[in-house]
């Protein structure tokens, strides 16, 4: 069995390295330089050198929404649902948080708490809507979610160009910055917010505990594996599906709060940053295991932040970072699929019943 395990790790890694270097060579670079630039642009070179704290702060604050969204997606994936609506849930969270940040005046700790709660509520409602469409309307969650993504994006654009437009200048670039009291507290001179990081880590631990130590998690998994038999076992499957969408939506909504009050400090049109879709890739690569989300989403955040350096320094389009992420996930998926296929073949060849 040991050789199988080697094959499972080695094959995807080899494919990734070969395709990544091939791609970088094709882009007219020497192959290693872009990778070094990505590291340098996201956490400094050598890593975490003294002047790199603003960059590290940015990378961490990109990690926070990806990690939160990934934690939520683990819940919906375990319930057997494809929550493509996650982008809309992040956006709704950001909109709700922006509303509180703009309209509510309270002391700083209370205001910050309110933005987080508002974000969670916004995301939760948007997630619940996907779930209701699915359970009551029979609308596939992929398309219900996608439609709500479009709706949420349209609402953001509308808010920015009409009711929340900047004073004086008509602009689609974003709203006025939020008042300082509403912003997530960060360490001097960087975006790094220990509170946001703590919430993200808590969410990941929470999701791990949910599926390792609670009956609710076990039942949710049963619903995801085989809905008819879970139903026959007496589990109210629809209620569990709605629960999964609400948990995921709430976590995604907090990711939206972090984007609005912890990174951009205002509402911008593309407030989700595409991190919801990125989180789907993270969770597929982590194969639905909560703790793997931490390093993988940090690596993806590094690529997202660092690849802007490629444009500046090598004149290579920054979409290269996204290409690398996609190749990585695809290669891992096909690598694992291929070795599983080989195992099935060997078992069949040995004349045993395939398990």
Partner 1 sequence: MTGIWNAFIDMFDTATIATIVAGAAPLLFAAMGETISEKAGVINLSVDGSMMLAALAGFVAAFETGSVWLGFPAAAAVGMLVALVVAFGSIKLSLNQVAVGFVLFALCTQLSRFLGSSYVGRLPEAVPAWDVPLLESIPFFGRVLFQQNLMVYLSILTVIATYVYMYRTRKGLELQGIGERPEAAHARGIPVNRLRYFYTALGGALIGIGGAAFTLDVKLGWSDRPTLNFGWIVLAIVIFGGWHPIRVAIGVLLFGALQAYALNLIPEFPSLSQVLPSIPFPLMILALVIVNWKALLRWLDRYPWLRAILRSDPPTAIGTRFEVN
User: Site residues (CB under 8 A) for partner 1?
Assistant: 27, 82, 84, 133, 136-140, 142-144, 146-148, 150-151, 153-154, 157-158, 161-162, 172, 277, 280-281, 284, 317, 319-323, 325-327, 329-330, 333-334, 337-338, 340-341
List the structure tokens of 105.
């005046």
For partner 1, give the closer residue by CB, 95 or 182: 95
In whole angstroms, the minimum distance from the beta carbon of 201 to partner 1 comes to 26
Tally helices (H) and strands (E) across the chain: 14, 0
| Of 46 and 137, CB closest to partner 1 | 137
Q: How far apart are CA 221 and CA 79, in angstroms?
A: 6
> In whole angstroms, how close is the CB of 217 to partner 1 at the nearest point?
21
Shortest Cβ 185–partner 1 spacing (Å) = 34
Shortest distance (Å) from residue 318 CB to partner 1: 8
What minimum distance in Å lies between the beta carbon of 139 and partner 1?
A: 5
Q: What's the closest the beta carbon of residue 63 comes to partner 1, in angstroms?
A: 19
Please identify, using beta-carbon distances, which residue of 195 and 327 lies nearer to partner 1.
Answer: 327
Q: Which is nearer to partner 1, 171 or 214 (CB)?
A: 171
315, with CB counted inside 10 A (0-12, 13-18, 19+), is: exposed
Considering beta carbons, is residue 34 or 249 the nearer one to partner 1?
34
Residue carrying the six token digits 């994006």: 153
The least CB distance from residue 51 to partner 1, in Å, is 30
**Nearer residue to partner 1 within complex by CB, 51 or 138:** 138
> Own/partner pairs for 39-43, CB < 8 Å, 24+ apart?
39/302, 39/306, 40/306, 40/309, 41/305, 41/306, 41/307, 41/308, 41/309, 41/310, 42/301, 42/302, 42/303, 42/305, 42/306, 43/302, 43/306
* Residue closer to partner 1, measured from CB, 162 or 180: 162
Identity of the residue, 156 or 193, whose beta carbon is nearer to partner 1 in the bound complex: 156
Indicate the burial class of 343 (C-beta count within 10 angstroms; 0-12, 13-18, 19 or more). middle
Cis preceding linkage at 46, omega within 30: yes
Q: How far is the CB of 333 from partner 1 (least distance, A)?
A: 6
Return d(Cα 334, Cα 322) in angstroms, integer.
18
Write b or e for each residue in 107-123: b if 16 or more Cβ atoms lie within 10 A of its Cβ, otherwise e: eeeebbebbbbbbbbbb
């Amino acid at each position: 069995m040991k050789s199988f395990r080697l094959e499972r790790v080695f094959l995807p890694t080899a494919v990734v390295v070969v395709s990544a270097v091939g791609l970088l060579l094709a882009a007219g670079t020497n192959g290693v330089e872009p990778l070094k630039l990505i590291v340098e642009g996201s956490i400094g070179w050598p890593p975490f050198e003294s002047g790199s704290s603003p960059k590290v702060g940015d990378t961490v604050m990109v990690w926070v929404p990806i990690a939160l969204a990934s934690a939520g997606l683990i819940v919906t994936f375990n319930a057997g649902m494809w929550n493509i609506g996650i982008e809309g849930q992040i956006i709704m969270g950001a909109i709700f948080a922006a509303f509180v940040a703009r309209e509510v005046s309270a002391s700083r700790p209370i205001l910050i708490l309110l933005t987080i709660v508002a974000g969670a509520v916004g995301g939760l409602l948007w997630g619940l809507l996907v779930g209701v469409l699915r359970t009551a309307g029979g609308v596939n969650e992929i398309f219900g979610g996608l439609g709500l993504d479009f709706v949420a994006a349209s609402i953001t654009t509308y808010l920015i160009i009409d009711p929340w437009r900047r004073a004086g200048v008509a602009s689609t670039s974003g709203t006025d910055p939020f008042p300082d009291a509403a912003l997530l507290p960060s360490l001097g001179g960087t975006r790094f917010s220990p509170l946001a990081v703590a919430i993200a880590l808590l969410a990941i631990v929470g999701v791990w505990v949910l599926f390792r130590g609670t009956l609710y998690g076990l039942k949710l998994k049963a619903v995801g594996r085989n809905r008819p038999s879970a139903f026959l076992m007496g589990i109210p499957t629809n209620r569990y599906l709605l629960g999964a969408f609400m948990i995921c939506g709430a976590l995604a909504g907090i990711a939206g709060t972090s984007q609005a009050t912890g990174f951009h400090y205002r509402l911008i049109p593309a407030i989700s940053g595409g991190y919801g879709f990125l989180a789907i890739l993270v969770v597929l690569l982590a194969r639905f295991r909560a703790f793997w989300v931490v390093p993988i989403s940090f690596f993806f955040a590094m690529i997202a932040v660092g690849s802007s350096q490629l444009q500046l320094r090598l004149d290579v389009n920054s979409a290269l970072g996204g290409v690398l992420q996609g190749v990585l996930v695809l290669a891992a998926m096909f690598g694992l699929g291929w070795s599983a296929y080989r195992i099935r073949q060997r078992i069949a060849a040995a004349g045993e019943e395939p398990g």
